[in-house]
Amino acid sequence: MIISMKLHSTREEIEQVCERIGDFGYKIHAIEGEERVVIGAVGVGDVAACLDSIEAMPQVEKAVRISAPYKFVSREFRPEKSQIRVDGRDIGGDEFIVMAGPCSVESEKQIMQAAEGVAKAGATLLRGGAFKPRTSPYDFQGLETEGLKLLAKAKRATGLGVITEVMSDRDVDLVAEYADVLQIGARNMQNFALLKALGKCARAVLLKRGMSSTIKELLMSAEYIVAHGNPNVILCERGIRTFETHTRNTCDIVAVPALNELTHLPVILDPSHATGRRSLIPALSRAAVAIGADGLLVEVHPAPEKAISDGAQSLDLHQFRKMMSDLRPYIELWKQARVTETAAAV
């Protein structure tokens, strides 16, 4: 249930409404806004009676039921798109955001070269895994804290914000010390202990779709983070597992506009894990722009042939520069569409 208070309602009036909601057995989950306060309530009870009673209160403008099982992340809750501020830039706003860098942080030289190269080509954030979820226990698991420190050094050198993966609830505070955005990998999309810990974290979270997860499950996982206190969630389509073997995963391209209908959260696309093949990345990135994604998460390595992980799907710096420049006219059209959409929503 979402209750919008009348403009400039007093603290006392808000408390009265909260009390009435409580009388019906519902729990207040969030109170947002200053001039116009919006109250979110969840729980099980007689929703129709509660809505009638609340709407009859003079200080209440409107009370509506949210039918989606994911409440706070739904478009019903917030019809306009959310913008998430990261290191001085807005994700979900009128800038197409490109997060780029290697799959894993491997060495100081590698991450510095990658960071400088992607910054020059126009990336907004530097990606690089310090904690790596690997299918085999014998594969490189990441440089961990040392990798985080190298990312921080690359940030100081280039001014790029940093996005990196956190795999365990125990590491959230550590990773949040170094990263601007915490990435939750496909394999951890339903790690509920981790999702709850992220709810208590002050950093933005990029939540990747699990490889066998539905759109609804992705939204329910995002709801965990928001319901536990952190509204700054970005969603990422990175391909799902199907019978197709030519590509590493099958990019569910329609998930992007579908998510844009269902949620106000920003949605980005990862063409690297979605394809597993560098030759397909520029075309899929153009598609991401065309369907209204808010940005890209791309793997870029200064020497992909030597990469410890995901070399076959990593662009080199030259290929990344070319892709960024080829994307420019598409991004111009994207910007025009964004302005029209925003104007229509007002």
The residue ranges that bind ligand PEP (CB under 6 A) are: 103, 129, 133, 185-187, 208, 238, 273
- Whole-number Å distance between alpha carbons of 150 and 202: 22
Minimum Å gap between C-beta 326 and Mn ion is 23
Angle (nearest 5°) at CA 304 between 137 and 248? 60
301 binds, among Mn ion, ligand PEP, none (CB under 5 to 8 A by kind): none
Q: CA 308, 313, 314, 319 torsion: positive or negative?
A: positive
235 binds, among ligand PEP, Mn ion, none (CB under 5 to 8 A by kind): none
CB atoms within 10 A of CB 215: 18
Nearer to Mn ion, 221 or 309 (CB): 309
**Segment holding 114, helix H or strand E:** helix 108-121
81 binds, among ligand PEP, Mn ion, none (CB under 5 to 8 A by kind): none
Residue nearest to ligand PEP (CB): 185
210 binds, among ligand PEP, Mn ion, none (CB under 5 to 8 A by kind): none
Nearer to Mn ion, 70 or 131 (CB): 131
Collect contacts of 329-335 with beta carbons under 8 A, ≥24 apart.
330/286, 330/289, 330/290, 331/96, 331/289, 333/289, 334/96, 334/289, 334/290, 334/292, 335/94, 335/96
Minimum Å gap between C-beta 292 and ligand PEP is 21
- Parallel, antiparallel, or unpaired for β 161-165 and 2-5? unpaired
208 binds, among Mn ion, ligand PEP, none (CB under 5 to 8 A by kind): ligand PEP
Nearer to ligand PEP, 129 or 231 (CB): 129
**Segment holding 268, helix H or strand E:** strand 267-269
Q: Which residues contribute to the site for Mn ion (CB under 5 A)? A: 103, 310
Nearer to ligand PEP, 208 or 338 (CB): 208
Minimum Å gap between C-beta 272 and ligand PEP is 7
